[in-house]
Every structure is written in structure tokens, then in C-alpha cells.
A and B are shown apart, each in its own frame.
Chain A
């Protein structure tokens, strides 16, 4: 157990819908990262938040957005869902904003878009 929690574990929804994925970082970690893992694209960095502020942006679609709240938990919002958004979404956390530190991954949320 990494200490990073993610809810829900599984999510099944329809095209065009909107969902919210939730992540709580390890105690003391200020950075939260979101990754998407799919068979064709592999593991892709989406976005990083540090202490409530956006820190770095990767291959995140405009239909996706994220935020980090004062209690440091983070939410990833996915809207206008398409079949291709079906994937495993991981959240990771680390102690600092520096991406040269170990990132601890949560168990992931498996999203299925039908």
C-alpha cells in the first residue's frame, strides 16, 4: 500500500457523459500527478499540481481538467467522454514539486466508456 488512495476503483459510463475521479495523496506529500494508462498509448503524464497550483501539464485533452483542493486531495474531471477515453487513470504523489523525486502511485481508477 503506497498511502495514495483513489476512488472509485471502477467506473462505467456512456459516451458524452462527465465523470470525476478523486485522489488523496500520501500524508505530507504536496504534489499530485495524474497519468492515463491505455494499451495503445502506454503510461502518459496528464498534469501535476503542487500545493493547490498547477505545476506542469502533459498530454491532457481540453475536455479534461483537474484541481487540487486546500486539503491537498485532487480531482480529475473528464467530460464529453469518448470511447477512446477508456483507460486506467493513476494518481501519484510526491513530497515536493521537483519531479526528480520518487512518485508513489495509487491503485488507479479503471474507466470504461460504452
Chain B
């Protein structure tokens, strides 16, 4: 099955700086890569996703890049703000029938220092 590795496990950045979280996946058939943000005690919420036919996607301060050859995708957050503090999860899945569900990375605890 799919295996998703996520790094780093903890990331501390100064407010206003950029943060980058990296994930690798093992199944070359995976073609859907969402990122979820989870605040303490709350539900995971989708913040951005990317499909394998796209190399990069942006939404305001958030961007995701995908390198299919290297089986690697990354989340970039620019101009970080205190409300960005949370745990971020990457995930991978095969879109279409027969998929085994989202496989999540272990999460990155992002801490924004004031």
C-alpha cells in the first residue's frame, strides 16, 4: 500500500517568515494530494490540494508543489501569522475506483513565534 513520509515533525518560524513542509509518497499510482490543517482538539480541515496533472497550485499565502518523478510534494506558507500555528498533515490517494483511502503523513506541528 501507499506510504507517506512527512518532514519535519516540528517547525518553528518567526512571524512573517515562510514555512515549508515536505512529503514523499511511495505509490506511483497516487494522483491526489491534499493538505489538512488541524488545530488542537479540532477536526482536520482541507487547506489546499493538488492533482498529478498540475505541478503547482497557489491560494493566497499557501502554495503546494508536486514533483511526480521524485514522488515528492511540499506545502509553502508565506508571511506566516499566529493563526497559522497548528498541525499540518499531507496525504495521498488514488482518485478513481478501487482506491484505498487517504494515506496521511505523521503531521508537522507548526509553531509561529511572535
Q: Is A16 an interface residue (CB 8 A)?
A: no
Whole-angstrom distance between the alpha carbons of A45 and B95 in the complex? 15
Query: Do B43 and A108 have beta carbons less than 8 Å apart?
Result: yes
Which size bracket describes the interface of B in this complex?
A: 20 to 34
Q: A90-B43, A98-B96, A107-B42 are in contact. Are A56 and B49 (CB under 8 A)?
A: no
Number of residue pairs A-B, CB distance < 8 angstroms: 67
Query: Do A99 and B93 have beta carbons less than 8 Å apart?
Result: yes
The residue from A43, A100, A104, A108 contacting B89, defined by CB atoms under 8 A apart = A43
Which size bracket describes the interface of A in this complex?
A: 20 to 34
Q: Is A68 an interface residue (CB 8 A)?
A: no
Query: Do A102 and B34 have beta carbons less than 8 Å apart?
Result: yes
Which of B12-20, B54-62, B78-86, B103-111 binds A? B103-111
Query: Do B49 and A99 have beta carbons less than 8 Å apart?
Result: no
A residues adjacent to B (C-beta < 8 A): 2, 33, 42-45, 47-48, 56-58, 90, 97-108
B residues adjacent to A (C-beta < 8 A): 31-32, 34, 36, 42-46, 49, 51, 89, 93-107
